[in-house]
Amino acid sequence: MAGGLATKFPVVSKAYCSLSQTTLMIRKRPRNINGGGFVAMDTSQVIAFSVDGCCVLGVKGECMVKDGNGNSILFISKKLGGVLQAVSFNDQWRGFLMDFDMTSKLVFTLHEAKSWLVMNGSVKIFLEAKENGRSSWDFEVLGSFTDRACTIMDRRGNVVAEVKGEEKIASKEFYSVVVQPGHDQAFVIAVIAILDYINGESTRC
């Protein structure tokens, strides 16, 4: 922090970076009513983001992140098929910016270690805009998403966001995501959407 102003770390856009800590309540949508996915609400219970999963989109391995007004901002797709993917140590997910309902730019790639290689799957995230040609990962996910106890960290070990179960609500249909100041909430929601899909929850068909 310099001059009293927090630094912003946009991945999708500075518009989704708050200068204060933000808590978003996640509420999963039932598949049999509106196709699954989830909504993310702020502390005033206003929808900040929503995610449509493959039950809505109609294609496996795809999700769409929308803003509170229902505008598509990120398209998420699992990289499918091919010999190289079959022998790879990782499954890959890619996040693309949306521009006038069309994919316009690849902004991140999430690498999920295949379950048969490790007991506790490792998740690493690579941003496309690299400084000085750097090829190492930029973020990682630690902990258990299914237990609602995981953390998104940057490569310096700083906490970006935390997934926490709601003690007052004995249900995994509701949980909170606490995003630290300056970090991109849309990006965090996109990572949550992928973790949700990987673990066979609301975004998966």
Rounded Cα distance between 22 and 9, Å, is 14
Note the pLDDT tens digit of each residue in 143-196: 999 999 999 999 999 999 999 987 666 567 899 999 999 999 999 999 999 999
For 105, residues 6+ apart whose C-beta sits below 8 A from its C-beta are 96, 97, 99, 128
Say if residue 1's pLDDT is above 50.
no
On whether the CB atoms of residues 109 and 93 are closer than 8 A, the answer is yes
Report domain extents, the chain. 16-198
Task: Dump pLDDT digits (tens) for 85-120.
Answer: 444 456 899 999 998 777 889 999 999 875 533 334
Give the pLDDT confidence of 57-88 residue by residue, as tens digits.
Answer: 888 999 999 999 999 999 999 976 443 444 44
Task: Please report which residue ranges of 30-181 form alpha helices under DSSP H.
Answer: 31-34, 54-57, 83-87
The answer regarding whether domain 16-198 maps to CATH 2.40.160.200 reads: yes
